[in-house]
Structure formats: C-alpha cells, structure tokens
C-alpha cells in the first residue's frame, strides 16, 4: 500500500518482473496506472543482460548508472556524487540570487536562508552520503558571496566558523554544508529498525515506531550536546574579546531577534543598517559609518558611545524606560505625565545635599492616584 503517485520495489530481477506484471494488472482497479516510459530499473553491471531479457518488450528503462529517487539518487558511486555536484551547482545560483537580495534586505535574506534554503542540502545529506568535496563550491559561495552581503563585510575563516554555530551557541546558524556528513549516519541509525522490518517483510511495526521515536530523541540530544561541546572547545582557543562576544550572544534570549521571522506587523522587521549594526555589536565588529571623534572630543567607539552623556545614547536608553513605564502607569492611574517641572524651591531645607534644587528640575514621571485607595 502507498499513498503517492510513485511506487518502488527492490529484489532479484525475476521477482521484480513478476511484481511489475502484477502491478500493471491490478493497479488500474485502484486508480494506479504504471507508466513504463517513466519507470527505471537500476541494476548492477553483472545483472544487466538478465534484466534486459526479463523486461524485454515492457518499455521499462534499464540502467547500471543510477537514477533520481524521492529527492535523492540510487546507483553507482560516480552517479551519486555527480548528482550531488549537480544539485550543489543549482543551489550556488540560488545563493547568488539571495545575496543580491541581501544587499538591500539582509534580514529577509537571512531568514530565507536559515528557515528555508539550507534545509535543501540538509535533507540531501540525511538521505544519502554526500562527499564534502562535492559540496565545497556551495560552501565557497556562501562564505564569499552571501555572508559579506548579509554582514556588510567579508569574514575570515575564524569568523566563518563562529557564524556556522547555531544561534543558541552564539552563532548565526549559517551552517557549512561540508560538515553535514554525520546527518546520514544519524538518519540511518534512526531508521535501522524499520529497515530490518522491510528486509524481513514483517508487517508488525507498532513497537518499532516507538523505538524510532526514542532513537530520534537520543540522536537529537547527542547531536545538540556534541555541537555545544565543539563550539565551546573552539571558542576557548580564541582571544578574550571573541570569547566575551560569543558568550554574551549565547545567553538565553540574546538571539531572539535573529530566530524570529521579520514580520513588520509585529515590529520585528529591521532595516539593513539596523540588522548589520546588530551583527556588528553581537560580534564586536566596528559598525559602518561611525564618526572618528565624539562631540565631547574623545575617540568615538561603541563602548564610548554607550557611556558618553554628550553623545545622547544614555539619554535614549533612559527615555525608552521612562516611556514604557509611563505607558503602563496610564492603565492604572490618572493624569500621567512625563518630564513635569518640580515646584520651585523657596527656602525649603532638604535632608540630603544631593537633592536637585535647580529651577528647571523635572521629574521623570508623574502619576496621580498611584498611592490612593482603589
């Protein structure tokens, strides 16, 4: 039984011919008409003559090289690797197109890559063994074309390694395709119990499904642990600045702005400048177009901008907290105002010498009735 428009079978040549005859005979009654012109028989070279004799006159195509099957490839090693190279070349063109979008909309391009495009070669690496050299050109395109368009700058090999880590480990999830070889082995381990059932032609698979689920959880847990360990070991070999940046980026919630979808309706969409400046602050890169000298006369750096009162950034942070607090107070209090003037001082004495007595002194927020009876 199957629920798709394609059926398949494996076995000895003569039994496959018997299966083909039954399929052609009984299939139409169930709405399935096997099309010989679209059917391919893949055999080993030593069985080619036997297969040609057995399927003579059926119209089935017979090959010893291989053929595409459910998004992967079956056949000789040469055919399989040729298929992977062909797929990688097609993905390279898509990466180049995505990089053009990233020049003006880097956040959208990043979301398209991490939440969509990269799963194409991830799937391929799960269902068949892909040699790293066949995916090497794809990785080169990601490193040299897409990442500079996303970040607004090229990256070195050390930075590329960091960006390949998952966001939860302080990276960007820009996975290196050449490092996905373990996914096939993990997939084989998860499905091994089902494979044995198929080979034994055993239809009792209830308990096997539970085994598959538990194996899948174990493999996922083991993969997550090994990824975290590899990231930690690599970061420990880097300088203190990188360790600090990646450590902060790996904090809980620090990557939420990267993993969410850039939905403008919810305020999650960032301009190209905001997105690239966010990446620069995340990894300690100097943001583009910074002035060299602060209005206060000091050298203008990110650290200085966040602490200089003349530059205005502390005031912006303060005002944001003030406005959020005032907005919440408006829900429970009356006559909420921001920056109201204090009453002028006319001879009053204050216990604390730090009290502000300037005629232009202001409160952050004033709200009537906060301490009154409900």
Mean pLDDT of the chain: 87
What is the structure's pLDDT at 2?
59
Query: What average pLDDT does range 231-236 have in this prediction?
Result: 90
What is the structure's pLDDT at 1?
55
The share of the chain scoring above pLDDT 90, in percent, equals: 39
In a domain, 292, yes or no: no
Q: How many domains, the chain?
A: 2
Co-location of 42 and 91 in the same domain? no
Co-location of 56 and 126 in the same domain? no
For residue 367, is pLDDT > 90? no
pLDDT, tens only, 21-79:
999 998 888 888 888 988 999 999 889 999 999 999 899 999 999 998 888 888 888 89
For residue 186, is pLDDT > 60? yes
In a domain, 327, yes or no: no
- φ/ψ of 329, rounded to 5, equals -65, -35
pLDDT, tens only, 71-101:
888 888 889 889 999 999 999 999 999 999 9
In a domain, 366, yes or no: no
Residue 20 makes CB contacts below 8 A (sequence gap 6+) with 34, 55, 58, 60
Burial of 221 from C-beta contacts in 10 A (0-12 / 13-18 / 19+) = exposed
Co-location of 171 and 71 in the same domain? yes
In a domain, 277, yes or no: no
Co-location of 27 and 52 in the same domain? yes
Co-location of 99 and 46 in the same domain? no
Pairing between strand 40-42 and 61-63?
A: parallel
Contact yes or no for 28/35 (Cβ under 8 A):
no
For residue 3, is pLDDT > 70? no
Question: Could you say which of 45, 64, 83 is where a domain stops?
Answer: 64
In a domain, 362, yes or no: no
Q: What pLDDT band is residue 357 in, cutting at 50, 70 and 90? A: confident
For residue 4, is pLDDT > 70? no
Instruction: Kindly compute the dihedral angle of the four CA atoms of residues 349, 350, 354, 360, in this order, to the nearest 10 degrees.
Output: -60
In a domain, 181, yes or no: yes
More confident residue, 163 or 301: 163
Pairing between strand 72-75 and 365-368?
A: unpaired
Co-location of 96 and 160 in the same domain? yes
In a domain, 322, yes or no: no
Co-location of 83 and 177 in the same domain? yes
Co-location of 163 and 246 in the same domain? yes
Question: Could you say which of 222, 243, 266 is where a domain stops?
Answer: 266
Structural domain including 31 reads 13-64
* Sheet strands (E) in 57-200: 61-63, 66-69, 72-75
* DSSP tally for the chain: helices H, then strands E: 15, 6
Q: Which two tokens stand for residue 117?
A: 């495009």
Q: Is the dihedral of CA 39, 45, 51, 53 positive or negative?
A: positive
Q: Which two tokens stand for residue 98?
A: 């995505």
Question: Could you say which of 266, 295, 314 is where a domain stops?
Answer: 266
Co-location of 75 and 122 in the same domain? yes
Co-location of 21 and 133 in the same domain? no
pLDDT, tens only, 103-131:
999 999 999 999 999 999 999 988 888 88
Q: Angle at Cα 260 formed by Cα 238 and Cα 120, nearest 5°?
A: 80
Co-location of 101 and 227 in the same domain? yes
In a domain, 101, yes or no: yes
Co-location of 57 and 76 in the same domain? no
């Amino acid at each position: 039984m199957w629920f798709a428009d394609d059926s398949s079978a494996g076995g000895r040549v003569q039994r496959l011919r018997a299966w083909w005859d039954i399929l052609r005979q009984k299939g139409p009654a169930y709405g399935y008409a096997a099309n010989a012109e679209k059917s391919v028989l893949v055999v080993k070279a030593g069985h080619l003559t036997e297969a040609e004799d057995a399927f003579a006159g059926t119209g089935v195509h017979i090959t010893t090289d291989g053929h595409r099957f459910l998004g992967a490839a079956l056949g000789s090693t040469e055919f399989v690797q040729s298929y992977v190279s062909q797929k990688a070349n097609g993905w390279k063109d898509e990466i180049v197109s995505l990089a053009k979008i990233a020049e003006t909309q880097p956040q959208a391009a990043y979301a398209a890559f991490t939440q969509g495009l990269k799963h194409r070669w991830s799937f391929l690496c799960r269902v068949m063994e892909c040699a790293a050299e066949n995916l090497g050109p794809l990785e080169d395109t990601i490193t040299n074309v897409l990442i500079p368009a996303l970040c607004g700058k090229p990256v070195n090999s050390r930075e590329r390694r960091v960006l390949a880590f998952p966001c939860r480990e302080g990276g960007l999830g820009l996975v290196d395709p050449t490092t996905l070889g373990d996914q096939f082995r993990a997939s084989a381990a998860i499905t091994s119990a089902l494979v044995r059932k198929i080979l034994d032609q055993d239809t009792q698979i209830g308990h096997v499904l539970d085994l598959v689920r538990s194996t899948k959880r174990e493999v996922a847990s083991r993969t997550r642990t090994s990824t975290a360990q590899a990231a930690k070991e690599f970061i420990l070999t880097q300088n203190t600045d990188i360790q600090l940046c990646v450590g902060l980026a790996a904090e809980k919630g620090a990557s939420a702005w990267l993993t969410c979808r850039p939905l403008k309706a919810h305020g999650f969409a960032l301009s190209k400048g905001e997105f690239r400046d966010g990446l620069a602050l995340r990894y300690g890169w100097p943001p583009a177009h910074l002035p060299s000298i602060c209005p206060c006369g000091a050298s203008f750096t990110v650290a200085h901008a966040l602490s200089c009162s003349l530059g205005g950034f502390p005031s912006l942070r303060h005002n944001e907290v003030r406005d959020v607090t005032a907005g919440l107070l408006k829900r429970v209090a009356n006559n909420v105002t921001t920056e109201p003037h204090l009453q002028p001082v006319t001879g009053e004495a204050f216990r604390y010498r730090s009290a502000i007595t300037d005629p232009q002194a202001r409160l952050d927020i004033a709200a009537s009735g906060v301490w009154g009876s409900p």
